[in-house]
Every structure is written in structure tokens, then in C-alpha cells.
Amino acid sequence: MAQKNYYETLGVDKKASKDEIKKAFYKLAAKYHPDKKTGDEAKFKEINEAYQVLSNDQKRKEYDTYGQTFSGAGSNASGGPGAGGFGAGQGFGGFDFSGFQQGGDMNFDFEDLGDIFGDIFGGFGGGGRAKTKRGRDMSLEMDISFEESIFGVERNVLISKVSTCKTCHGSGGKPGTKMETCPKCNGKGKINDIKRTIFGAMQSVKTCDECHGSGKVPKEKCETCHGAGVLNTKEDIKISVPPGINNGEVLRMSGMGEAVQGGQTGDLYIKIFVKPNKIWKREGNDLIMTQDIKLTDAILGGKYVIDAIDGKLEFEIPKGVSPNDILKVKGRGVPSMQNKNHRGDALIKINILIPKKLSKKAEGLIEDLKKEGL
């Protein structure tokens, strides 16, 4: 296929700033928008494709280097909404509206702009992607002990949120009620909507907000949620923290966030804070601690029993151990998150206690050792 020149498409220099690219795009988009007299759908698509790439630092870099992009919309020469840029629940990932908002000199409704692009791209090729409504994501923080971080823990948390109604399972209808044709859209599931935008007055087709596109509404409303399908609740949620979690890691519980009428439920994110342990520290999947031992044990060797995270831990000090030597007890560390049956090791760092005071007798014995050449 022919190589596209995105800079030419937008009529900007290769060294154009983000701002210049943005301005060029909006000027051209306003001119070629298919609903305008000067409109040209093919041209509009091209402009948009160029903008998708050049407005994104990563994609622009790829394009400058390789003449194409590797991720998401823009490289999609067949037109269409671009596999990666749109959809994904949120709709308009590829557009950078936020920066434009700060530009100041142009004044229009950003939500409208989203709708316009949404409708246009949704319409391309027929049966395009509909914008999916999505409930709010929620997040919470959770403190757990060091031991719980090693072996995992289950906790129940009471969360206030908007949930799907349990009586009607989100339909908004009284259980067993008949479904009727939606009076707002006459069963089409879509309604015409006229908006004033920078491109002039534009007509677009929107999903009906009464039936959420299904074209049907229940004859009798659910008594629990008064037909909303969702309601404010306190929900008891069981959170399973897997073994081996690290301080600061975030768990994601898909679909456990807030519900929204006629849409997808958001996610729940749980940030884990692990309280440190006084004796043991974590190093990857190993646990490490420092053990004081007697000078004679260092020389003659000996057995020690200490408290591990999971009960007693017995280990042998080899004869002639040196300060800072690390003894390894296999399989008494942190369970691997990939394979619960595999655990890291317990590592014991040796600290030899040199006596500060000696009895007369002990001093005599040490003197004898000295004579031995030790």
C-alpha cells in the first residue's frame, strides 16, 4: 500500500509542535466534517488518522522512525474506527481532548465533540461500535500483616456504592411484568438528537435513554429500585489477597465497582499495604533475618531453633562459620504467586557475638588457645 504522509495530510511541518498539529487538525476537521457543505468523509477520516498518530508522542516517534505505527489506531489504512483507538469501553481513547481544553481560544462543548466523533465512527462500515456506558471504578486501601502478605488472607469489607438491583437484576421491571414498546423511541432503541457544535448544528443518532437501546420498557416498574435497575447499597465484598503479595501492589476485582443503568459495572481496585515484620524482611521470594550466635558456636558449630513466619525453624550452624555468612533453609520463604507449591527460602545471616567481658577462667582458656596459634 502507498506510504501515507501524515504531515502532508495535516499540512504541517515535520517539526510542528503538538499545539500546531492540534490547531491544524481542528481547522481541517471543521472544514471536512461530513455534515458540512464542504464535507468529505474520506478526507475527514484521513485527517483523523493522521491526527491520531501525530498527536500521540509514542506513535509519532514510531511513525517518524519506521514510517508506521505498531500500536492501535492510525496505522489502520483500511479506514474504520481503528482497532485500538476506540471502543475499550470508554470510547475515544485516541483523542486528546484534555490538552485542547486548556487551549482557551476555541470554545465548544467537549462532550458534543465526543458524540460527534462517536456517531461518525460508529457509523462507518455499518454496525460500528456503540459507546458502552460504564460504572465508576472504585478504589480502597487495605493494611495487612507481614504474615498475611506471605500466606494470603481473606477479608470482608462493607462498601457503599451503586449496585445492580437484586430484585430485577438491573432490568428495572417488576419481576414477571410484561415488556412494552418504548414510547420514547417507538421501539427503535435510538433517538435523533440535534446539537449546536463548532461544526454548526448537527443531527446525530443517540441510544434512547429510556430503554437504553433495547426498544422495550417494562410495563410495571421494579418496586425496589423504582425502575432504575441500580440503587445505593452497602455491599459486603470478600477480598481474597493472594499469597506472596508485595507492599504497594494493587488488586483489581473486575465488575465489583459501581453499577450503571444499562451499562457495564466498573472495577474495584484494592491497594495493599504490608506492615513490616520486626525480625524478617522480604527479598523477592526469600525471607531474610539476622541471627546472633555465640563465639563458641561459630567455632564448634551448633543447632539453633528460631521463630519463623510459619512456626519453629531449626537450623545447623556449621563449624567455623564466618560473620555475615548466610545460611539457607530451603522452602521456608514466600510462596510464589505463579505456583503456590513453590516457596522461596529462609535466609539466616550470621552475626557472631564477641564477648566484651571475660571471666578469669575464660581469659586463661583463651590465652591457652592463643598459645595453640589460634
Whether the CA torsion 91, 96, 162, 257 is positive or negative: it is positive
Amino acid at site 99: G
Tell me the H-state helices in the chain. 6-10, 18-32, 41-54, 57-66, 97-103, 110-123, 146-151, 295-300, 360-371
Closer residue to Zn ion (CB): 55 or 171: 171
Q: What is the bridge-based pairing of β-strands 250-253 and 200-207?
A: unpaired
Minimum Å gap between C-beta 188 and Zn ion is 7
Please give the order of strands across the beta sheet that includes 268-274.
138-144, 268-274, 250-253
Minimum Å gap between C-beta 174 and Zn ion is 8
Task: Identify which of 47, 57, 128 has the alpha carbon closest to the alpha carbon of residue 87.
Answer: 128
Minimum Å gap between C-beta 102 and Zn ion is 37
**CA pair distance 193, 31, nearest whole angstrom:** 22
Minimum Å gap between C-beta 47 and Zn ion is 34
Closer residue to Zn ion (CB): 225 or 348: 225
Minimum Å gap between C-beta 163 and Zn ion is 10
Minimum Å gap between C-beta 179 and Zn ion is 12
Positions touching Zn ion (CB under 5 A) are 165, 167-168, 182, 184-185, 208, 210-211, 222, 224-225
Closer residue to Zn ion (CB): 13 or 209: 209
**CA pair distance 336, 338, nearest whole angstrom:** 5
Closer residue to Zn ion (CB): 28 or 225: 225
Closer residue to Zn ion (CB): 14 or 226: 226
Render 28-56 in DSSP notation, one character per residue.
HHHHH-TTSTT--HHHHHHHHHHHHHHTS
Closer residue to Zn ion (CB): 222 or 293: 222
Minimum Å gap between C-beta 348 and Zn ion is 60
Closer residue to Zn ion (CB): 208 or 317: 208
Q: Which residues contact 161 (CB under 8 A, 6 or more apart)?
A: 138, 232, 233, 235, 257, 258, 259
